[in-house]
């Protein structure tokens, strides 16, 4: 797969993902933690990551879409695999036939799943999503009350977990966290007893009251900081190295890149790498990104193009064609790159380009 001319290599540390999963389970008081592997395991490769975590003992996996889960189903024998976005009308039979659990997230989704179970004459397992304040997916408290008051509404449904999702878990002082938990507890009291699932990555660090029967961490598995603004307790997982294609001399006054938004102030040496916004390297890094090599840092100059970016290596004569610059790595931290681009680590990870040569370690 790895072409000899790969413009950039994405190293993915599977052992670090496994260590992060174990640490998150620890943070969950030793209770189970699933792995959220949606969006190709946040860009790190779901078909590599999910079986690796299965071998490490992880038994619960979440994607967003049914199609993502279908691709993983044969790779995860014996594990629970559920699709968070909920079943689109007409997809129920495909869920049931493939052994993928829907996350029932609206009254009509519950009704159709129950109907299918009765038609097939068997109990069909599912998760039930309660909306406690995010107002994205999930049954409202009123809908939960109606469901609970309707005889037979849950017939045929094997409730594996009742779950909710916090809107502001990365803000430990936000009172909405406790308020959502209280609403969830109230909703669960209306329903038949079932295991519960609450915490995403950040919620695992909010305190023991946010523990449940199954945590659902995603970003922290992949090295994202679940506690923004505090030291990152997770092990870094991805390193993105770009090959220097060319180093050019640029005279004072000469511009680099589209519209010459950067001009040399001094005789400069500019390293060109074959990574651009088509690779998910954000155009927003134009004029403010940074790369690193051997402890030195290099400013991104001019605009990020579709397939190319430029860095000022004037002060580092050792940088020559064939050298490698870290775009994400020990010095170019994921969090810093995201902040420079005006976004969050989630978006940097999930957009990691298809053109990178991915190398899985571990
Ligand atoms: C994406 C997602 C998660 C994982 O969230 P992280 O913040 O990445 O840990 C958990 N639950 C739901 C419902 C999600 O959509």
Whole-number pLDDT of residue 139:
98
Place of tokens 């699932």: 197
Closest protein CA for atom 12 of ligand 1: 165
Residues 6+ apart with CB under 8 A from 133: 167, 176, 179, 180, 183
- Residue 199, pLDDT > 60, answer yes
| Helix, strand, coil percentages, rounded to 5, for the chain | 30, 25, 45
For the stretch 81-140, pLDDT in tens is 999 999 999 999 999 999 999 999 999 999 999 999 999 999 999 999 999 999 999 999
Whole-number pLDDT of residue 224:
98
Q: Which atom of ligand 1 is closest in space to residue 170's alpha carbon?
A: 7
Asked whether 350 lines ligand 1 (CB < 6 A), one says no
Whole-number pLDDT of residue 244:
98
- The token pair that represents 195 in the structure block: 């295991």
Asked whether 310 lines ligand 1 (CB < 6 A), one says no
Q: Stretch 280-309: mean pLDDT, rounded? A: 98
Q: Mind telling me the catalytic residues?
A: 38, 258
For the stretch 212-263, pLDDT in tens is 999 999 999 999 999 999 999 999 999 999 999 999 999 999 999 999 999 9
Q: Which atom of ligand 1 is closest in space to residue 36's alpha carbon?
A: 4
- DSSP secondary structure code for residue 4 in this structure: T
pTM value > 0.95: yes
Q: Stretch 291-315: mean pLDDT, rounded? A: 98
Whole-number pLDDT of residue 259:
97
Whole-number pLDDT of residue 3:
60
- Residue 297, pLDDT > 90, answer yes
User: What percent of the chain shows pLDDT beyond 70?
Assistant: 99
- Residue 2, pLDDT > 90, answer no
List strands edge to edge, sheet with 157-163. 35-36, 60-63, 80-83, 101-104, 124-129, 157-163, 196-197
Q: Stretch 296-312: mean pLDDT, rounded? A: 98
Closest protein CA for atom 15 of ligand 1: 84
- Residue 5, pLDDT > 90, answer no
Q: What φ, ψ does residue 126 adopt, rounded to 5°?
A: -160, 165
Asked whether 216 lines ligand 1 (CB < 6 A), one says yes
Asked whether 139 lines ligand 1 (CB < 6 A), one says no
Q: Which atom of ligand 1 is closest in space to residue 163's alpha carbon?
A: 13
Q: Which atom of ligand 1 is closest in space to residue 137's alpha carbon?
A: 13
Asked whether 84 lines ligand 1 (CB < 6 A), one says yes
Site to substitute for ligand 1 among 20, 24, 25, 36, most atoms within 8 A of C-beta = 36
Asked whether 219 lines ligand 1 (CB < 6 A), one says yes
DSSP-assigned states of every residue in 222-270? GT--SSTTS---SPP-EEEEEEEEEEEEE-TT-EESGGG-EE-SSSEEE
- Residue 1, pLDDT > 60, answer no
Whole-number pLDDT of residue 93:
98
Asked whether 200 lines ligand 1 (CB < 6 A), one says yes
Q: What domains can you pick out in the chain, each with its CATH number?
A: 14-222 (3.20.20.10), 238-332 (2.40.37.10)
- Residue 193, pLDDT > 60, answer yes
User: What percent of the chain shows pLDDT beyond 90?
Assistant: 99
Q: Stretch 172-179: mean pLDDT, rounded? A: 98
């Amino acid at each position: 797969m790895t072409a000899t001319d790969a413009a950039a290599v994405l190293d993915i540390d599977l052992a670090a993902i496994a260590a992060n999963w174990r640490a998150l389970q620890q943070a969950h008081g030793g209770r189970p933690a699933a792995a959220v592997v949606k969006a190709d395991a946040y860009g790190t490769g779901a078909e590599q990551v999910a079986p690796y975590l299965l071998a490490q003992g992880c038994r619960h996996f979440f994607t967003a879409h049914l199609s993502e889960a279908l691709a993983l189903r044969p790779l995860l024998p014996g594990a629970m695999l559920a699709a968070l976005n909920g079943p689109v009308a007409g997809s129920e039979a495909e869920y049931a036939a493939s052994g993928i659990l829907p996350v029932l997230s609206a009254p009509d989704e519950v009704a159709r799943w129950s109907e299918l179970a009765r038609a097939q004459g068997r109990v069909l397992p599912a998760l039930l999503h309660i909306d406690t304040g995010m107002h994205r997916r999930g049954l409202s408290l009123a809908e939960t009350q109606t469901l609970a008051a309707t005889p037979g509404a849950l017939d045929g449904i094997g409730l594996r977990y009742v779950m909710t999702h916090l809107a502001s878990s990365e803000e430990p002082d936000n009172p909405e966290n406790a308020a959502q938990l209280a609403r969830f507890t109230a909703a669960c009291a209306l329903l038949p007893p079932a295991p519960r699932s609450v915490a995403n990555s950040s919620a695992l660090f909010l305190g023991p009251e946010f523990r449940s029967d199954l945590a659902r961490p995603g970003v922290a598995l992949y090295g994202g900081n679940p506690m923004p603004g505090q030291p990152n307790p997770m092990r870094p997982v991805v390193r993105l190295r770009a090959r220097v294609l060319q180093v050019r001399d640029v005279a004072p006054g000469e511009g680099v890149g589209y519209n010459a938004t950067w001009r040399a102030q001094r005789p400069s040496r500019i390293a060109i790498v074959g990574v651009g916004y088509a690779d998910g390297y954000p155009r927003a890094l134009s004029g403010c990104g940074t790369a690193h090599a051997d402890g030195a840092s290099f400013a991104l100059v001019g605009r990020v193009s579709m397939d190319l970016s430029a860095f000022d290596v004037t002060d580092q004569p050792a940088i020559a064609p064939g050298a490698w610059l870290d775009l994400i790595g020990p010095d170019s931290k994921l969090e810093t790159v995201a902040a420079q681009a005006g976004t969050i680590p989630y978006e940097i990870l999930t957009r990691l380009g298809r053109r990178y040569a991915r190398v899985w370690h571990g």
